[in-house]
Amino acid sequence: MGERAAGSLPVANVQVLAEACNGGVDDQQQVPERYLSKDPSSEEVVTGGDGSCAIPVIDLCKLRDPQSSSAECAKLASACLNWGFFQLINHGLPEEVTGNLMNDVVEFFKQTLQDKKECSQQVGSLEGYGQAFVVSDDQKLDWADMLYLQVHPTESRDLRFWPTRPASFRHSADVYSSEARQLAYRLLEFMARGAGAEPASLRAVFEGQTQGMRVNYYPPCRQQADRVLGLTAHTDACGLTLLLQTNHDVQGLQVKKDGKWFAVKALEGAFIVNVGDVIEIMSNGKFKSVEHRAVIHPTKERISIALFHHPCQDMVVGPLPEFMKGDKVRYRSTNYQDYLKQYFTAKLDGRVHVERLKLEQ
């Protein structure tokens, strides 16, 4: 897929760097300048001290129950328009399926660097263990290591990058990918319904297509944690993302709304779901792909697992007639491969590409 073309320059392993920077006072290394952002206080952060989790909560049982389905679909469509994000409860995925993968992911990162490096990225590929999107020596860096794998279709898997330790990892990732994919398809149906479109309209675009899994490992950072970013602000290039985090009590994800950052409090056992650029475009702006980022905790690590659902690689991505019904066309159509190239170029310049595809109204 297009993302394979985007290789990354090798940079320091952040887990190792964090150990040196978080060490004893005498031998402590300073956090390198490349990890420090310029002005952390320039943007307001809403932390929700009232116990709210910031983004709307959607209940899959209510979506499925004929009694409550219409109202919950409307709530879902409103969450996708106003926040681009929601947490999904009662999603029906067995705890064993998510728990097994989470445990295996934790075990993977506990290994020595040498062992983890068996899955290292290779030149010209995004898959594997390392950091993504580093293209110049003066670029600011994220305080995270990641493991990116293409998990579906099965024949597209490049097992060179799939951990063999812990021994259960591959099986756990396989089962999780398949169960979560079915869940994503169901959600796409409910989202379409909520927007007044034919339920199959969105699902048909994504069913059977590429699914990528990125595991983000954010070590703690004792020094200047407020100036270090785990993941720079971005929108997701794909259609729909399902996100899990291993330690729900460590806050990290922040979502932008009305110019402010909202800190998301992950509900235990819930999925965090977000709209990607492709669905913003296909829904003709009825759903929004919203900027988000991950911040770092001073003393606790955090791990998240993002599953990205892409459309068919050779399709033209543009508003679907189902979502227009008398509305003006609000987005330019682009071939998906060209779209991805433009997305990565814009991302490296700190721009949100989907904004540039909006047509003047």
Ligand X SMILES: O=C(O)CCC(=O)C(=O)O
Q: 253 touches which of Fe ion, ligand X, none (CB within 5 to 8 A by kind)?
A: ligand X
Strands 128-130 and 145-152: antiparallel
Angle between helix axes 95-110 and 169-194 (nearest 10 degrees) is 130
Closer CB to ligand X, 287 or 323, in the complex: 287
Closest distance of CB 306 from Fe ion, Å: 6
Closer CB to Fe ion, 104 or 236, in the complex: 236
With CB atoms as reference, the residue minimizing the distance to ligand X is 304
Closest distance of CB 74 from Fe ion, Å: 26
Angle between helix axes 69-82 and 169-194 (nearest 10 degrees) is 100
Closest distance of CB 256 from ligand X, Å: 12
Closer CB to ligand X, 163 or 252, in the complex: 252
Could you say whether residue 189 binds Fe ion (CB under 5 A)?
no
Instruction: State the distance between the two ends of the chain, measured CA to CA, in whole angstroms.
Output: 33
Could you say whether residue 301 binds Fe ion (CB under 5 A)?
no
With CB atoms as reference, the residue minimizing the distance to Fe ion is 236
Q: 31 touches which of ligand X, Fe ion, none (CB within 5 to 8 A by kind)?
A: none
In this structure, how many other beta carbons lie within 10 angstroms of the beta carbon of residue 111?
Answer: 15
Closest distance of CB 14 from ligand X, Å: 14
Strands 145-152 and 85-89: unpaired
Closest distance of CB 30 from Fe ion, Å: 29
Closest distance of CB 1 from Fe ion, Å: 17
In this structure, how many other beta carbons lie within 10 angstroms of the beta carbon of residue 177?
Answer: 20
Closer CB to ligand X, 59 or 236, in the complex: 236
- Please give the Cα distance from 128 to 150 (Å, whole number): 9
| Contacting positions for ligand X (CB under 6 A) | 214, 216, 231, 236, 243, 252-253, 292, 294, 304, 306
Closest distance of CB 309 from Fe ion, Å: 13
CA-nearest of 226, 290, 295, 294 to 258 is: 290
Closest distance of CB 243 from ligand X, Å: 6
Q: 214 touches which of ligand X, Fe ion, none (CB within 5 to 8 A by kind)?
A: ligand X
Closer CB to ligand X, 64 or 234, in the complex: 234
> Which amino acid type is present at position 241?
T
- Please give the Cα distance from 344 to 351 (Å, whole number): 9
List all residues 6 or more positions away from 190 whose beta carbon is below 8 Å from its beta carbon: 63, 69, 72, 73, 76, 199
List all residues 6 or more positions away from 70 whose beta carbon is below 8 Å from its beta carbon: none
Could you say whether residue 236 binds Fe ion (CB under 5 A)?
yes
* ∠ Cα 345 220 52 (to 5°): 85
Q: 216 touches which of ligand X, Fe ion, none (CB within 5 to 8 A by kind)?
A: ligand X
Closer CB to ligand X, 147 or 320, in the complex: 147
196-235 mask for Fe ion (x: CB under 5 A)?
----------------------------------------
* 75, 123, 174, 186, 242 from 179: Cα distances, Å: 24, 32, 9, 11, 12
Interface residue list for Fe ion (CB under 5 A): 236
